[in-house]
Amino acid sequence: MSQAQSVELAAVTKRYDNALAVDAISLKIKAGTYCCLLGPSGCGKSSTLRMIAGHEEVTDGDIVIGQRVVNNDTPAERGTAMMFQNYALFPHLSVAENVAFSLHMKGVARAERLARAATMLELVSMEDYAHRLPNQLSGGQQQRVALARALMTKPSVLLLDEPLSALDPFLRVRMRSELRRIQSELGITFIHVTHSQEEAMALADLMVVMNDGRIVQAAPPREIYNAPRTPFVARFIGGHNILEDGDRTITLRADDLAVLSDAGASDARRRATVSEIEYRGVDVRIGLETEAGESLTAVIGERAFFDQPLTPGAVVGVGWRTDAAHVLTLDR
Ligand code: ADP
């Protein structure tokens, strides 16, 4: 495999005609990082990825891979490879020939390219399927083949555009851990676009939250979960309550709210009515409407909830430790 490379975006902008899709974003991704670009549909993730790949021109700013500005390089010259959402395998070629296709283009002899494809198929646990045609494979298997094919060019940076979105939930979780394993085995840089916060949190060393063509926050997932920078980030990653507290806007994790059966308890900061109870197996989600008209969500461990079960309509107190409140910066 080739060496991992760092990727840097320096005030990168993308316009389509007059529409601003990516607005002067700057980001440094260290070599060997698993980076996820996360955000709602239309926020500019794919445009950013395609500009790194060289499939889309940069309107302004620089893309730097390793020490080199690559704005004018072809995709092949950049040392990147892209894995697409639809796997785009050649239907008439066997799995092995699909994986070896880039070597075929380079004129590598058949025996050698099949031998190299076999090694790559082993990496993605598909060595027993080398002779099949793509339509004889499940979606998850086709995706492994597409991954092997992208890795065949020995990229120093692998770009993945919503690679798991076509899979059913069970396979998605399995492939997610496969991706993580392969990335750490190869040690190369992965940049993975997703709109799923769960996927980004599970995979990323560096999670980049985008909104409206800009980067709102870039940090390790745990840092983002514990200290979302803005109300948008807190809402997007989920599991948070946003409240006005005096003249500040704060966020509180749903699992940091205490629901007190005595609404007048001295540690109650709000009085609220239980609006909803949702059983989720490992825990219970409680919807609360405060007297001030705020909607809050508390999450309580399953056993703790059933020690003192509540029902909708109950009037309760809601408390939290002072240090659980995290102050947000208002969105621009
Ligand atoms: P995401 O991947 O986050 O969904 P995209 O990068 O695909 O976002 O799109 C960002 C914005 O740019 C959207 O408003 C989208 O409609 C627009 N856009 C994307 N591709 C094109 C294109 N080829 N021509 C014109 N507008 C585009």
Under 8 Å between Cβ of 275 and 283: no
Under the banding of pLDDT at 50, 70 and 90, the label for residue 332 is: low
* Nearest atom, ligand 1, residue 193 CA: 2
Measured at the CA of 52, the angle between CA 49 and CA 58, to 5 degrees, comes to: 100
* Burial (Cβ within 10 Å: 0-12, 13-18, ≥19) of residue 105: exposed
Give the pLDDT confidence score for residue 119 in this predicted structure.
93
Question: How remote is the CA of residue 62 from the centroid of ligand 1, in Å?
Answer: 19
Q: What is the mean pLDDT of residues 186-192?
A: 96
pLDDT digits (tens, 9 = 90+) for 264-320: 899 999 999 999 999 999 999 999 999 999 999 999 999 999 999 999 999 999 999
pLDDT at 1 over 60: no
Sequence letter at residue 268: A
Question: How remote is the CA of residue 21 from the centroid of ligand 1, in Å?
Answer: 6
CA distance 36 to 199: 9
Question: How remote is the CA of residue 87 from the centroid of ligand 1, in Å?
Answer: 20
pLDDT digits (tens, 9 = 90+) for 229-246: 999 999 999 999 999 988
Q: Which residues does a 6 A CB cutoff place in the pocket of ligand 1?
A: 16, 19, 21, 39, 41-47
pLDDT digits (tens, 9 = 90+) for 162-172: 988 888 888 88
Question: How remote is the CA of residue 170 from the centroid of ligand 1, in Å?
Answer: 29
Give the pLDDT confidence score for residue 261 in this predicted structure.
92
The percent of residues in the chain predicted with pLDDT above 90, rounded, is 83
Give the pLDDT confidence score for residue 245 in this predicted structure.
86
* Nearest atom, ligand 1, residue 210 CA: 3
Give the pLDDT confidence score for residue 39 in this predicted structure.
97
Sequence letter at residue 264: G
pLDDT digits (tens, 9 = 90+) for 55-74: 999 999 999 999 999 999 99
- For the entire predicted model, the pTM comes to 0.93
Sign of torsion over alpha carbons 182, 183, 184, 185: positive
Under the banding of pLDDT at 50, 70 and 90, the label for residue 26 is: very high
Contacts of 119 (CB under 8 A, 6+ apart): none
Under the banding of pLDDT at 50, 70 and 90, the label for residue 86 is: low
* Burial (Cβ within 10 Å: 0-12, 13-18, ≥19) of residue 6: middle
The percent of residues in the chain predicted with pLDDT above 70, rounded, is 98
* Nearest atom, ligand 1, residue 22 CA: 10
pLDDT at 38 over 90: yes
pLDDT at 87 over 80: no
Closest protein CA for atom 14 of ligand 1: 42
Tokens of 110: 């058949």
CA distance 73 to 135: 35
Question: How remote is the CA of residue 141 from the centroid of ligand 1, in Å?
Answer: 29
Under the banding of pLDDT at 50, 70 and 90, the label for residue 210 is: very high
Average pLDDT taken over every residue of the chain: 94
Sequence letter at residue 65: I
pLDDT at 331 over 80: no
Closest protein CA for atom 13 of ligand 1: 42
pLDDT digits (tens, 9 = 90+) for 88-113: 789 999 999 999 998 888 888 999 99
H/E/C letters for each residue in the chain? CCCCCCEEEEEEEEEECCEEEEEEEEEEECCCCEEEEECCCCCCHHHHHHHHHCCCCCCEEEEEECCEECCCCCHHHHCEEEECCCCCCCCCCCHHHHHCHHHHHCCCCHHHHHHHHHHHHHHCCCHHHCCCCHHHCCHHHHHHHHHHHHHCCCCCEEEEECCCCCCCHHHHHHHHHHHHHHHHHHCCEEEEEECCHHHHHHHCCEEEEEECCEEEEEECHHHHHHCCCCHHHHHHHCCEEEEEECCEEEEEEHHHCEEECCCCCCCCCEEEEEEEEEECCCEEEEEEEECCCCEEEEEEEHHHHHHCCCCCCCEEEEECCHHHCEECCCCC
